[in-house]
């Protein structure tokens, strides 16, 4: 079952032939509350990484007068994640249609697509698609002859990972330095320009037309339990067929790995899997093979579905080196507001460098573990956790590789 | 009102209060760096983390509202550990240069380390991030970026209080540092407050830098005489020297203190400070008061103008008034034209530069004193007032002038004590009376009231007080009755 990538439509004519914008027409004849109700019923959860129930998020928007905003988070910058890009490439109008429906449901007049700065080509696609949608009056004033006006502006990021955090993203749109805001107030109460705002990921919004067209329960019946619908996984690493896959939630990793990805390339052996983007704890091959790809199963396995940015790590990859690269990334991207993250990420990178260069001692590994513990859950946004969680899991699950580095006999690095 | 439990005891929080505020109001101190009661909440230092029942993560008490039924722990092992961990993080890249840091002794890194840290360092010295030190960021402020903990109090002060927005945090992560827009200086009229609110040694006062260890300083509560606002101040001194003026926050007059106010103590050490009584440009040896009498008594009282001064205390003005009435008798008594007493900059600076302007109006009412008209100065041969009032009226007449500094005024100059050296009552723009407290002594200078009292006896007419407390009693009855202190 595929929803998002079933039929690709690069231009609006093809999208319309595929039945595009029918959902918007249907939505505009529905009551706003009913749309939110359907989305709630669908069990659609935020696809950006946190998995917050989408309908619930929309229902937090107060029914007061005054401006409200809908923001699409297309800052896709979690290492290993490239699934939103695929939607923009193959089905850009599904995002625009989803946004128009969401805006109607929450009463937003203006939408923003905050797109990662490196996505130059994707920005052009979005701009072209927006122009097409405007020309057909799916955007603009009096959409489809109804008393509903909505348009979308595109804002390009400037390369900061932290601007993918929704409140830092809002700061960035407002022209300020991208730093997460203290919550509460949550964006639904005080978001963009201090107005009620919904921020959804590209994949979440692109799933909305299907829900409106087929009903919430139809969507909820796809997948497993509270993990409803389909999910995109962007797979990188030495598998036979890396790329972006849309699967029903709940598929066993083993099945996905063997049937869709075609297993490892010749001569490669699976060592570990990062399932949901670089911020989540790593799974050993054995753990991964026992897990199913849905929110609950992965939580049970000690990790998270996250963004679906799946990184397949082969046996030949040194885990110390891999963690060093992660530490360097999060150190570089920490916004620096909160003490534990600002100081902790840099400290871990320094220790990792030392270990990687063979100058480490076993107490350095212990220190990384305790620094990670000291960072976790004590900051405004989860960036500190995003290094702490992988760090702890890498060390606990691949301790022998760290020990080998300390003793100076890592045979993976020497190769 | 929300009922909360902190460390096992029940308290009532006020509506809208945060946990930190409710705790503090009830005598429970929660350590903090970025939180400041007069600034917006940033929530970035994470020092004020507390444990709240039913919440899996520790919460920052500075931004978490105290809600009914909350059970809060500020002393649990989890909280203590968190505080120690935050301190460890704050200190890893800190230079720990306390021996050469002016903040030492009033530094929240030192204090909290003793209270909550006491951990051994496990960070390599050579790994510390080095940053710029000794940046003269404004006329009064020195910035040391190595000592900064990025709490952003300074940034928020410039955004929210002075609204001048000079500062910002440049860069990200542990490369972050406080910076100022290129080519600008941090010279807003309230810049020294930043040195006060900086919890560490990042912003220090260039004026106070390296002059005294703070633990030697003693403090006198006093009132600023920089303008009619009458901010309450702390005069800090040691061994008969004033080293700095700090704000003494209170709900009636001021939270902050302007730079000009803080610099008023410089009058004590001005190079131009008047050393001895000067008559016609000649320094008088000895006490010199009889020479003063010889000169003043030759003047025709009917052609003498006594002008009360809004720069002098209520007591000194009363002495001046009584001297005019009892000794000179037939002279005329005036007060200078006053300005509107209102805040000129939306913060603290007053349109009226004299500290005792409000008292002048009471004198005028009680004793029916008229305002001096400089255009009619020609009617007089001789003036008795203080130097600052003479300057204000552009008087260039022979007279008897009470002055802190040596100046070109004609006639007699009496070197008076500064109100850092003597006591005096001042009434601010909101009609609140405050008394200066002498922090330092200066036996070589005169008190205005004493000079006038002694001159009066030379005239053969004793003023109706023997000492300062009797004079104060007169002032209380005639002028200060009904004024709140």
Q: What is the pLDDT of residues A222-252, one digit of tens each?
A: 999 999 999 999 999 999 999 999 999 999 9
For B58-85, what is the mean pLDDT? Answer: 97
DSSP category for residue A264: B
Structural contact between residues B254 and B231, judged by C-beta atoms closer than 8 angstroms: yes
Residue A1 is predicted with a pLDDT of: 87
C-alpha dist (Å) from residue B312 to B10, B307, B402, B424, B425: 52, 11, 10, 8, 9
For B412-418, what is the mean pLDDT? Answer: 97
**One domain for residues A332 and A297:** no
How far away is chain A from the Cα of B127, in angstroms, using its nearest Cα?
8
Chain A residues close to B66, C-beta within 8 Å: none
> What digits encode the pLDDT tens for the residues B132-163?
999 999 999 999 999 999 999 999 999 999 99
A345 and B CB contact within 8 Å: yes
A350 and B CB contact within 8 Å: yes
Say which of B41, B123, B174 has its CB closest to residue A342: B174
Say which of B47, B149, B173 has its CB closest to residue A332: B173
Residue A414 is predicted with a pLDDT of: 62
Residue A219 is predicted with a pLDDT of: 97
Residue B199 is predicted with a pLDDT of: 98
Query: Which secondary structure element, helix H or strand E, spans residue B382, and what is its range?
Result: strand B382-386
3-state secondary structure of A205: helix
Largest CA distance in chain B: 88
Residue B11 is predicted with a pLDDT of: 97
How far away is chain A from the Cα of B118, in angstroms, using its nearest Cα?
16
DSSP category for residue B410: S
Contact yes or no for B44 and A177 at CB 8 A: no
Q: How many residues does chain B have?
A: 485
Q: Quick one: which of B96, B210, B191 has its CA closest to B137? A: B191
Q: Quick one: which of A162, A170, A160 has its CA closest to A69? A: A170
In the predicted model, is pLDDT for residue B285 greater than 90? Answer: no
Sign of CA dihedral B109, B110, B114, B118: positive
Say which of A337, A367, A379 has its CB closest to residue B122: A367
A182 and B CB contact within 8 Å: yes
> What digits encode the pLDDT tens for the residues B369-393?
999 999 989 999 999 999 999 999 9
Last residue of a domain, one of A249, A280, A314: A314
In a domain, A6, yes or no: no
User: Token match 């002794």: residue?
Assistant: B105
Instruction: List the beta bridge partners of residue A346.
Output: none
A393 and B CB contact within 8 Å: no
Question: Which phi and psi (to 5°) does residue B61 adopt?
Answer: -75, -15
A181 and B CB contact within 8 Å: no
Structural contact between residues A130 and A160, judged by C-beta atoms closer than 8 angstroms: no
Average pLDDT, chain A: 96
Residue B286 is predicted with a pLDDT of: 76
Say which of B41, B124, B173 has its CB closest to residue A335: B173
Domain of residue A269: give its range.
227-314
Contact yes or no for B168 and A177 at CB 8 A: yes
**One domain for residues A165 and A29:** yes
* Structure tokens belonging to residue A238: 């030495």
The domain spanning residue A297 has which CATH number? 3.10.20.600
User: Token match 């000592």: residue?
Assistant: B147
Query: Which secondary structure element, helix H or strand E, spans residue A255, and what is its range?
Result: helix A253-255
Structural contact between residues B341 and B429, judged by C-beta atoms closer than 8 angstroms: yes
**One domain for residues A235 and A338:** no
In the predicted model, is pLDDT for residue A404 greater than 80? Answer: yes
**One domain for residues A258 and A163:** no
Distance, in Å, from the CA atom of A71 to the CA atom of A166, rounded to the nearest integer, reads 9
Last residue of a domain, one of A195, A221, A247: A221
Residues B120-124: contacts with CB under 8 Å, at least 24 apart: B121/B91, B121/B92, B122/A367, B122/B88, B123/A347, B123/B91, B123/B92, B124/A350
A344 and B CB contact within 8 Å: yes
Size of interface A-B (CB pairs under 8 A): 86
For B64-77, what is the mean pLDDT? Answer: 97
**One domain for residues A301 and A323:** no
Residue B484 is predicted with a pLDDT of: 63
In the predicted model, is pLDDT for residue B28 greater than 70? Answer: yes
**One domain for residues A160 and A179:** yes
In the predicted model, is pLDDT for residue B109 greater than 80? Answer: yes
pTM of the model: 0.94
Last residue of a domain, one of A314, A345, A372: A314
Contact yes or no for A335 and B46 at CB 8 A: no
**One domain for residues A66 and A188:** yes
Could you give the percent of chain A with pLDDT greater than 90? Answer: 97
In the predicted model, is pLDDT for residue B248 greater than 70? Answer: yes
For B39-60, what is the mean pLDDT? Answer: 97
**One domain for residues A202 and A243:** no
- Label residue B341 by pLDDT band (50, 70, 90): very high
In a domain, A76, yes or no: yes
In the predicted model, is pLDDT for residue A415 greater than 60? Answer: no
Residue A224 is predicted with a pLDDT of: 94
In the predicted model, is pLDDT for residue B287 greater than 80? Answer: no
User: Token match 């007049």: residue?
Assistant: A109
**One domain for residues A213 and A231:** no
Contact yes or no for B88 and A333 at CB 8 A: no
In the predicted model, is pLDDT for residue B281 greater than 60? Answer: yes
Give the gyration radius of chain B's Cα atoms: 27
Distance, in Å, from the CA atom of B415 to the CA atom of A281, rounded to the nearest integer, reads 77
A186 and B CB contact within 8 Å: no
> What digits encode the pLDDT tens for the residues A16-27?
999 999 999 999
The domain spanning residue A104 has which CATH number? 3.40.50.11540
Contact yes or no for B174 and A177 at CB 8 A: no
Domains and CATH numbers, chain B: 3-75 (3.10.20.740), 96-111+123-216 (3.30.70.20), 278-427+441-480 (3.40.50)
How far away is chain A from the Cα of B90, in angstroms, using its nearest Cα?
7
Contact yes or no for B46 and A339 at CB 8 A: yes
Taking an 8 Å Cβ-Cβ cutoff, which residues of chain B contact chain A? 41-47, 49, 56-58, 63, 82, 85-86, 88-90, 92-93, 122-124, 127, 129, 149-150, 168-169, 171-176
> What digits encode the pLDDT tens for the residues B289-307?
999 999 999 999 999 999 9
Residue B485 is predicted with a pLDDT of: 60
In a domain, A413, yes or no: no
**One domain for residues A93 and A174:** yes
Chain B residues close to A177, C-beta within 8 Å: 168-169
**One domain for residues A386 and A244:** no
The domain spanning residue A357 has which CATH number? 1.20.1440.230
Q: How many domains does chain A have?
A: 3
For B309-332, what is the mean pLDDT? Answer: 96
> What digits encode the pLDDT tens for the residues A164-191?
999 999 999 999 999 999 999 999 999 9
Whether the ω angle into residue A110 lies within 30 degrees of 0, i.e. cis, is no
Sign of CA dihedral B136, B142, B144, B149: negative
């Amino acid at each position: 079952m595929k929803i998002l990538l079933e039929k690709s439509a690069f231009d609006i004519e093809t999208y319309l032939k595929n039945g595009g914008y029918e959902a918007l027409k249907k939505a505009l004849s529905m009551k706003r509350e009913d749309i939110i109700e359907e989305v709630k019923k669908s069990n659609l959860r935020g696809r950006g990484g946190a998995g917050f129930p989408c309908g619930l998020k929309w229902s937090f928007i107060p029914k007061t007068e005054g401006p409200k905003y809908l923001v699409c988070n297309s800052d896709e910058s979690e290492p290993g994640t490239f699934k939103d890009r695929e939607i923009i490439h193959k089905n850009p109008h599904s995002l625009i249609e989803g946004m128009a429906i969401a805006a109607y449901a929450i009463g937003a007049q203006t939408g923003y697509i905050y797109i990662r700065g490196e996505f130059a080509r994707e920005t052009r696609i979005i701009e072209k698609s927006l122009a097409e949608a405007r020309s057909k009056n799916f955007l603009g004033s009096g959409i489809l002859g109804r008393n509903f006006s909505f348009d979308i502006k595109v804002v390009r990021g400037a390369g900061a990972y932290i601007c993918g955090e929704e409140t830092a993203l809002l700061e960035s749109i407002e022209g300020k330095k991208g730093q997460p805001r203290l919550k509460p107030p949550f964006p639904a109460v005080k978001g963009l320009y201090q107005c009620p705002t919904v921020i959804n990921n590209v994949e979440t919004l692109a799933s909305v037309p299907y829900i409106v067209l087929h009903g919430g329960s139809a969507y909820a019946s796809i997948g497993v339990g509270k993990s409803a619908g389909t999910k995109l996984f962007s797979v990188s690493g030495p598998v036979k067929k890396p790329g972006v896959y849309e699967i029903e939630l709940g598929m066993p990793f083993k099945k996905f790995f063997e049937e869709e990805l075609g297993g490892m390339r010749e001569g490669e052996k699976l060592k570990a899997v990062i399932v949901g983007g670089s911020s989540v704890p790593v799974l050993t091959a054995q753990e991964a093979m026992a897990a199913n790809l849905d929110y609950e199963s992965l939580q049970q396995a000690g990790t998270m579905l996250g963004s679906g940015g799946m990184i397949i790590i082969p046996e030949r990859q040194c885990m110390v080196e891999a963690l060093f690269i992660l530490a360097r990334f999060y150190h570089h991207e920490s916004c620096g507001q909160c003490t534990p993250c600002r100081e902790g990420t840099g400290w871990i990178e320094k220790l990792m460098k030392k270990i990687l260069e063979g100058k480490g001692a076993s107490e350095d590994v212990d220190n990384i573990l305790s620094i990670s513990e000291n960072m976790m859950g004590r900051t405004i946004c989860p960036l500190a956790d995003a290094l702490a969680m992988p760090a702890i899991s890498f060390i606990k699950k691949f301790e022998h590789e760290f020990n080998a580095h300390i003793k100076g006999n890592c045979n993976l690095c020497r190769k | 009102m929300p009922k909360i439990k902190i460390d096992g005891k029940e308290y009532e929080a006020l509506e809208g209060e945060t946990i930190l505020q409710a705790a503090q109001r009830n005598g429970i101190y929660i350590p903090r760096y970025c939180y400041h009661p007069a600034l917006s909440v940033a929530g970035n230092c994470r020092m004020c983390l507390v444990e709240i029942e039913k919440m899996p993560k520790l919460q920052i008490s500075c931004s978490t509202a105290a809600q009914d039924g909350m059970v809060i722990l500020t002393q649990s092992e989890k909280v203590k550990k968190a505080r120690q961990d935050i301190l460890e993080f704050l200190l890893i890249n800190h230079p720990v240069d306390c021996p050469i840091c002016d903040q030492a002794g009033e530094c929240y890194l030192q204090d909290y380390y003793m209270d909550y840290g006491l951990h051994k360092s496990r960070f390599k010295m050579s790994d510390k991030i080095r940053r710029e030190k000794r940046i003269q960021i404004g006329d009064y402020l020195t910035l040391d970026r190595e000592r900064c903990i990025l709490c952003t109090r300074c940034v928020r002060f410039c955004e929210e209080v002075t609204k001048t927005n000079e500062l910002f945090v440049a860069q990200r992560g542990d490369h972050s540092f406080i910076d100022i827009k290129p080519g600008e200086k941090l010279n807003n009229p309230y810049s020294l407050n930043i040195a006060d609110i900086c919890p560490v040694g990042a912003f220090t006062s260039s004026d106070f830098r390296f002059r005294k260890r703070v633990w030697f300083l003693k403090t006198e509560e006093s009132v600023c005489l920089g303008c009619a606002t009458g901010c309450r101040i702390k005069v800090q001194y040691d061994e008969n020297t004033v080293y700095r003026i700090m704000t003494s926050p209170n709900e009636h007059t001021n939270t902050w203190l302007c730079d000009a106010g803080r610099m008023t103590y410089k009058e004590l050490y001005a190079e131009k400070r008047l050393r001895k009584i000067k008559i016609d440009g000649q320094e008088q040896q000895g006490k010199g008061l009889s020479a003063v009498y010889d000169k003043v008594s030759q003047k025709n009282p009917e052609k003498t103008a006594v002008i009360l001064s809004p720069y002098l205390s209520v007591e000194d003005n009363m002495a001046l008034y009584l001297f005019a009435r009892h000794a000179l008798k037939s002279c005329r008594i005036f007060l200078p034209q006053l300005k509107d007493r209102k805040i000129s900059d939306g913060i603290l600076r007053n349109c009226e530069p004299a500290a005792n302007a409000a008292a002048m109006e009471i004198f005028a009412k009680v004793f029916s004193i008229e305002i001096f008209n400089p255009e009619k100065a020609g009617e007089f041969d001789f003036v008795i007032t203080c130097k600052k009032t003479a300057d204000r009226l552009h008087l260039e007449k022979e007279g008897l002038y009470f002055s802190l500094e040596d100046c070109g005024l004609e006639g007699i100059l009496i070197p008076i004590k500064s109100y850092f050296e003597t006591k005096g009552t001042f009434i601010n723009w909101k009609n609140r009376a405050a008394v200066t407290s002498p922090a330092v002594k200066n036996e070589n200078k005169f008190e205005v009231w004493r000079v006038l009292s002694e001159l009066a006896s030379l005239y053969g007419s004793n003023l109706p007080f023997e000492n300062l407390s009797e004079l104060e009693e007169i002032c209380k009855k005639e002028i200060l009755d009904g004024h709140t202190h």
